[in-house]
């Protein structure tokens, strides 16, 4: 059944995009999102002191997976450009796959370490909102990886949906996964470990920082798929 809505391609979101001030603000926000993702990864990695315990590897792996790899994999397709020397869409897609594959590997390793830590310490599993949302994020990440595979191999799989429709589903689901990851990271900030490590104004800053890359990614994806005009069915 043909769609009655035409979606704008990436880079054709809002009309305000034509104003240079707005463009520069968006570019500044994109750079800030890159810096925030990398900064969160470094800070969390330092605070966790990897190697001091089994648990210490969990924050490191998860921050690398979602604050760094997944963030870069999404911002790679920003209409404002990318910090990487990638011009063709084919190369961007390949790098996107690399980032998401590394994110899944790092997340799986982080999951293994927290499970091992719980077993060794004889502590119960899934007793906090952070752990519950973390499980949802991991499950959604696997489903999203499957969706991306269907998009790349849609011809071989002989899927009925068009590539454009599959891309819309893939990008939308990816945004949901990233928002789940952001919520999981923010819930980690209220854990006993993090509150004992970071206090005062620094804690408040760390608690809200994950929202910024999420807002940039959400703006990027929604602008790419804002309905532009009706077409006859």
For 19-86, the three-class secondary structure string (H helix, E strand, C coil) is: CHHHHHHHHHHHHHHHHHHHHHHHHHHHHHCCCCCCCCHHHHHHHHHHHHHHHHHHHCCCCCCCCCCC
Average pLDDT of the chain, as a whole number: 86
pLDDT top residue among 162 and 101: 101
Is the model's pLDDT at 29 over the cut of 60? yes
- Delimit the domains of the chain by residue range: 23-224
Tally of CB atoms within 10 A around 21? 8
Query: May I ask the CATH architecture of the domain 23-224?
Result: Up-down Bundle (1.20)
- In the DSSP assignment, the letter for residue 7 is E
Question: What is the model's pLDDT at position 230?
Answer: 42
The token pair that represents 106 in the structure block: 């790092």
What is the arithmetic mean of pLDDT over 156-175?
A: 85
- Average pLDDT of span 128-137: 95
- Band (pLDDT 50/70/90 cuts) for residue 231 is very low
Residue the block writes with tokens 């005062």: 200
Q: What pLDDT score does 229 carry?
A: 43
Region 47-55: mean pLDDT is 94
More confident residue, 2 or 148: 148
205-215, pLDDT tens digit by residue? 999 999 999 99
| Whether 35 contacts 181, CB under 8 Å | no
Is a pLDDT exceeding 50 seen at residue 12?
no
pTM: 0.84
85-101: average pLDDT: 87
């Amino acid at each position: 059944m043909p769609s009655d809505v035409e979606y704008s391609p990436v880079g054709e979101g809002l009309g305000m995009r034509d104003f240079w001030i707005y463009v520069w603000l968006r570019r500044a926000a994109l750079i800030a999102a890159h810096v925030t993702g990398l900064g969160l990864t470094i800070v969390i990695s330092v605070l966790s002191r990897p190697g001091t315990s089994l648990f210490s590897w969990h924050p490191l792996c998860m921050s690398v997976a979602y604050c760094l790899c997944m963030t870069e994999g999404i911002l790679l397709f920003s209409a404002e450009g990318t910090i990487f020397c990638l011009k063709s869409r084919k190369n961007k897609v390949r790098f996107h796959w690399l980032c998401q594959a590394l994110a899944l590997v790092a997340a799986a390793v982080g999951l293994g370490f927290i499970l091992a830590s719980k077993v060794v310490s004889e502590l119960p599993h899934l007793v906090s909102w952070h752990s519950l949302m973390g499980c949802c994020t991991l499950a959604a990440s696997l489903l999203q990886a499957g969706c991306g595979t269907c998009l790349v191999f849609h011809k071989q799989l002989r899927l009925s949906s068009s590539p454009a429709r599959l891309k819309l589903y893939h990008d939308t689901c990816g945004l949901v996964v990233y928002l789940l990851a952001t919520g999981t990271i923010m819930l980690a900030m209220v854990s006993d470990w993090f509150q004992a490590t970071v206090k005062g104004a620094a804690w408040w800053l760390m608690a809200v920082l994950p929202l910024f890359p999420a807002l940039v990614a959400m703006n990027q994806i929604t602008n790419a798929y804002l309905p532009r005009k009706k077409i006859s069915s």
